[in-house]
Homo-oligomer: A and B are copies of this chain.
Amino acid sequence: MDRRSGIAIGALSRRTGCHVETIRYYERIGLLPAPARRGRYRLYGAADVARLAFVRRARELGFTLEEVRALLALAAEGEGACAEARELAAAHLADVRARIADLRAMEAALAEAVRRCDAGEAPGCPLIGALSGRAAPA
């Protein structure tokens, strides 16, 4: 299957948990280098596995593909790049926190609406009422 030279895209997919189509997509946008080929088939080595795993972990932390691109470049630079990486992460962290705050506001409003639905207090549906602009009674 991999006569000493590497693994096929399906094996890489299984190893990294990244869909085959997504791997090809990453290659197309230049996030992954064009790999070696055996015939028409892509052939991946250890460095490719590591790079894709890096991308996957960064994506799991919510970095955008452009940020991942920057992180990959910084990782290639080695030392020195730490301060820049820290900046990227800190900016992204602020973004994540803002999104959490937004979602928490949604959560509170939704939970309240559902609670009032369950209580069955007001005439009419409290959820639809709230969306229609009728303020909730205290």
Chain A residues within CB distance 8 Å of chain B: 50, 53-54, 57-58, 60-62, 71, 74-75, 78-79, 81-82, 85-86, 89-90, 92-93, 96-97, 99-100, 103-104, 106-107, 109-111, 113-114, 117-118, 124-125, 127-128, 130-133
Task: State the majority secondary structure of interface residues on A.
Answer: helix
- Beyond contacts A74-B125, A96-B103: 19 other A-B pairs, Cβ-Cβ < 8 A, are A54-B132, A54-B133, A57-B131, A57-B133, A60-B106, A62-B103, A74-B128, A75-B132, A78-B124, A79-B125, A81-B125, A82-B117, A82-B127, A85-B127, A86-B125, A89-B117, A90-B114, A99-B103, A103-B103
Q: Which of B81, B93, B128 contacts A82 (CB 8 A)?
A: B128
Q: Which residues of B contact A58 (CB under 8 A)?
A: 131
Which residues does chain B contribute within 8 Å of A132, judged by CB atoms?
50, 54, 75
Q: Name the B residues within 8 Å of A57 (CB-CB).
A: 130-131, 133
A130 to B61, CA, bound (A): 11
CB closest chain-B residue, reference A120: B82
Q: Which 6 A-B pairs have the closest CB atoms?
A: A82-B125, A86-B117, A93-B110, A62-B106, A75-B128, A85-B127
B89 and A97 form a contact (CB under 8 A): no
A85 B128 Cβ-Cβ under 8 A: yes
